[in-house]
Structure 1
Amino acid sequence: MDEKETIGGVPVSEEQIAAWSTEAEAGYDVTALRKRGRGRPGRGAEPSQVVALRLTSDELAQIDERAAREGKSRSDVIREALAAAAA
C-alpha cells in the first residue's frame, strides 16, 4: 500500500484494510445503516443548490485564512460575503 493513503490525515494500514474486509464479509446491519440519513443536512426549509465558482489561488488563500481565523468553513465565509454584498 502507498504510504500516502490517508483518511482524515491518518495513514491507512494493511491491518485496517483487513479489518474492514472482515467486517464487510461478515455483513452489515442494514437497518442501522439506513438510520444514518442521506446526504448533507439541509441549510433551511428549501433544498440548497450547488454553484460552481472559479477563484484564483490568492483569493482562495484569503478565504481560507479568514475561515481559519474565524473558525468557520470556507462556504460560510463565501455565503457571508455574498449576503453583505447583496445588502
Structure 2
Amino acid sequence: MSEGETIGGVPVTDEQIQVWADEAEAGIDIDLLKKRGRGRPGRGAGPAQVVALRLTAEELADLDALAARAHKTRSELIRAALAAYAA
C-alpha cells in the first residue's frame, strides 16, 4: 500500500484492504448492487433532456454571480427564469 492513501480523508490500512478482499472473495450480493440508483435523480415522470446553451464569458460570470447570491445552481436559476418567463 502506498504511504498516506486515504478515502474521504480516512487512512486506508492493510487491515481494511484485507477486510475488503475477504468480502469480495465471499461473493457479492447482486441484488444489493441493483438497489443502488445510477446517475442523477429524475425531474419528473419522463426522461429529462439536456439542452446545450452557449453563453459569453460575461453572461456566464453574471449567471454564476446571481446563482451564488440566490444559493442555487446554474440549472436551478435557469429553470426558475424560464418558469417566470412562461408564467
Question: How many matched pairs?
Answer: 73
SS at 1:53 equivalent? coil
2:6 counterpart of 1:16: yes
The normalised TM-score by structure 2 is: 0.63
- Give the letter for the 1:43 counterpart: R
Give the Cα separation in 2 of the matches to 1:39 and 1:32: 17
1:34-45 aligned within 5 A:
34-45=34-45
Q: Give the letter for the 2:76 counterpart.
A: D
Q: Which residue of 1 aligns with 2:80?
A: 80
Relative to structure 2, which stretch is displaced further, 27-36 or 37-46? 27-36
- Give the C-alpha shift of residue 39 in structure 1: 1.4
Gaps of 5+ in 2: none
Equivalent position of 2:49 in the other structure: 49
Query: Cα 1:32–1:83, aligned 2, differ >3 Å: closer, same or farther?
Result: same
CA-atom RMSD, angstroms?
2.7
Task: Return the index of the structure with the highest Cα Rg.
Answer: 2
Distance in 2 between the 1:54 and 1:76 partners? 17
Distance in 2, Cα, partners of 1:79 & 1:43: 12
Structure 1 unmatched ranges of 5 or more: 1-12
